[in-house]
Structure 1
Amino acid sequence: MIRVSSRDFLNKNDRHKALLAMAVGISQMQNVDVMARKFLNESYTVMLFHYDGNVDGWRSLEWSDKAIHIVAPNQTKWWFAKRFLHPSVVAIYDFIFLWDEDLGVENFDPRRYIDIMVSEGLEITQPALDPDLSTDIHHRITIRNKMTKVHRRVYDNRSSMNCSDDSKGPPCTGWVEGMAPVFSRAAWKCVWHLIQNDLIHGWGLDMKLGYCAQGDRAEKVGVIDSEYVVHQGIPSLGGPSDTSKLPRRSLDLRTHIRRQSSAELEKFKERWEKAVREDDEWMDPFDA
């Protein structure tokens, strides 16, 4: 007689492990609380990187002791990720959610999201952005399409974009933004090596993530529409937002950080180009 347990009827997703990692400040505790509960309710792991040094302020949350807390003042999520999310350390997780702290998740379910990643064969994704409620939407490919479950490309006939079925790379296809990326274990093992130890803002990474897609980036990278979020555009460490009510000192700091980010972008591009020149055996898999 063959014994069949209830475990045999579990959805495949029940065996998947996921990690939500965020750089957070105490001022966003209420929003992070909502985000974290979504993941903890599914028995996923939450890791908080405290860039303001305040950990004790989170103790009032009932789930605080269940989360992993790491502290380093004035650092970014990419700085934390490079130092604390080494592929060997997070190898137990099937999916890594490396998110900003200012996302509204009322219409997002992490379990359904992972189901879609698996069924669609996606390695790198992001949830679509609600165009009606989100601020700071910079790229059309991130906007939610209400008619689809997933989209992998955007169509735009403006001369500055010219995105069509013939487009083979970012920002038309094979691309997600840095605010809410989700990586499979295999993709993260590659992405971690792309992150530069000294370029803490991660500018330029988004354009190269497709090289970690474990195949054709036009097929393996996508934006998931049915599980979408709101980007609230709340500033942290120099991010864009309404500056009309900020004190002069804060404006000066954010201006400095954005200048540093722009300088890091140029350094990242230079390093990529240098590596390509010096590696005689490397062939660009996406070179048309």
Structure 2
Amino acid sequence: MQLLAGGGRRRRPWTLAGPALVLALVVLVVMSDRPYMASQKRPGTGPKHNLVQQQQQRQQAPREQGRPWGKVLVGMTVGKKCRARVEQMLEDWGRTQFNYMFFVYDGTDWSALEALDGVTVLQTRALKMHHYKANVPPERVDGYDFFLLLDCDVGLAHFDVHSFLDIQWERQIPIAQPSVAWGELRDRSSDHRVCRNVPGPHYGRWTTFIECGPFVSFMADAWRCVYDLVQGDLGSGWGLDYKWCAYARDVCRLRPALKGPIRTSPDDGGRVCAVIDAQVVDHLDERTAFGRLGSNYQPRQDAVEFERRFPDVESTTLTNCLCACDCRGGPLRSVWNTFVRSTQVFGVWNFLQCECRF
């Protein structure tokens, strides 16, 4: 330190080194508090077209390696409006690994499909949960690896079922769904934000909520578990989907088989349910089955009655969250999650949005 005339001291010039070091320490602390860190190397952050290319490579790679899973049972409520989509699904998915149960709610003739091997057609005018309670008991999924529950108004034009099931099988996710494309339904009360597609260099997100439609995928043990919750007289499924993740976690003690470290804490939601962003479906919202039951039918009544019947099973109420860990935690965690979500349009923040992603 140099002395100036008159006994004064020359001050050192101000630099950014100190604040930068503090910021780096803050980021390190935040990242160390993430409940899950994938063991595999994450794709780097690059130009947007590179991220799209990486995502396409991830989706195509499992198909080149063969199918690690076996048979799949598909249950679907169907009517006249979705006949063309069902025929296209049969052509695309095939009947080698997939068997189908079609529940016709509007009385239309599906006998041509019933003649096909691996296809069962049942004519009952009722909502979907009545069909599944009556026709898909736990023993019905014996010999299957997955049970898929589909609605008539699911759009599969951009969906690859093989890649989707590869992802679910690799991580042994008990209950999963493809993400739902953003569209005109974004403001609908039943179209939950946590289920809508989140773009980025990841496969999916662990959540505490999986919507009861238009597409839910259960591993066989998961369907055997939640079958006890299914109420045939509460046919819409509203209310059931608020509880089945917690029920599978707390009552059936289902857990995924994950590679790498995982923290067991209240913040991780048990890692039982996941939304797969790598595969997207459309929710066309035709509501044909509801319409045939009359305008007085309100599915929200089912949710209220379901809550009354199962008060001891935890309900996921904060479904307008991005990830499972956003639903829990203290006020500082809530502020941080809000900040990350509000800045997700900037690619530089991608590495900070991985708390529930894999």
Distance 1:225 1:208, change over 3 A: same
Residue deviations 1:219-269 (CA, integer Å, cap 9, x gap) = 221011111111111112227xxxxxxxxxx7xx543122xx232222211
Once residues 227 and 204 of structure 1 are traced to their aligned partners in structure 2, the CA distance between those partners, rounded to angstroms, is 25
The residue identity in structure 1 corresponding to 2:102 is L
Residue deviations 1:195-241 (CA, integer Å, cap 9, x gap) = 023222221001111121513744221011111111111112227xx
Count of aligned residue pairs for this structure pair: 234
CA contact (8 A) 1:130 1:229 kept: yes
Which residue in 1 is equivalent to 2:305?
A: 267
Out of 166, 179, 195, the position equivalent to 2:230 is: 195
Q: CA RMSD in A?
A: 2.9
- Percentage of identical aligned residues: 28
Alignment of structure 1 residues 101-112 onto 2, 5 Å = 101-112=152-163
Once residues 16 and 109 of structure 1 are traced to their aligned partners in structure 2, the CA distance between those partners, rounded to angstroms, is 16
Deviation, 1:188, is: 0.3
Distance 1:38 1:134, change over 3 A: farther
* 3-state SS of paired residue (1:237): helix
Deviation, 1:43, is: 2.9
The residue identity in structure 1 corresponding to 2:101 is M
Which residue in 2 is equivalent to 1:115?
A: 166
* 3-state SS of paired residue (2:103): strand
The residue identity in structure 2 corresponding to 1:53 is G
Which residue in 1 is equivalent to 2:272?
A: 220
CA contact (8 A) 1:152 1:218 kept: no
Alignment of structure 1 residues 113-192 onto 2, 5 Å = 113-132=164-183, 136=188, 138-152=191-205, 173-179=207-213, 180-192=215-227
Distance 1:39 1:217, change over 3 A: farther
Unaligned runs of 5+ in 2: 1-63, 256-267, 315-327, 330-358
Q: Which has the larger radius of gyration?
A: 2
CA contact (8 A) 1:109 1:227 kept: yes
Alignment of structure 1 residues 16-31 onto 2, 5 Å = 16-31=70-85
Q: Are 1:68 and 2:104 counterparts?
A: no
CA contact (8 A) 2:158 2:280 kept: yes
CA contact (8 A) 2:74 2:147 kept: yes
* 3-state SS of paired residue (1:273): coil
Alignment of structure 1 residues 25-44 onto 2, 5 Å = 25-40=79-94, 43-44=97-98
CA contact (8 A) 2:205 2:277 kept: no
Deviation, 1:11, is: 5.0
* 3-state SS of paired residue (2:281): strand
Alignment of structure 1 residues 204-219 onto 2, 5 Å = 204-210=239-245, 211-213=247-249, 214-215=254-255, 217-219=269-271
Alignment of structure 1 residues 2-21 onto 2, 5 Å = 11=65, 13-21=67-75
* 3-state SS of paired residue (1:257): coil
* 3-state SS of paired residue (1:255): coil
Deviation, 1:194, is: 0.5
Give the TM-score of the pair, scaled to structure 1.
0.72
Give the TM-score of the pair, scaled to structure 2.
0.59
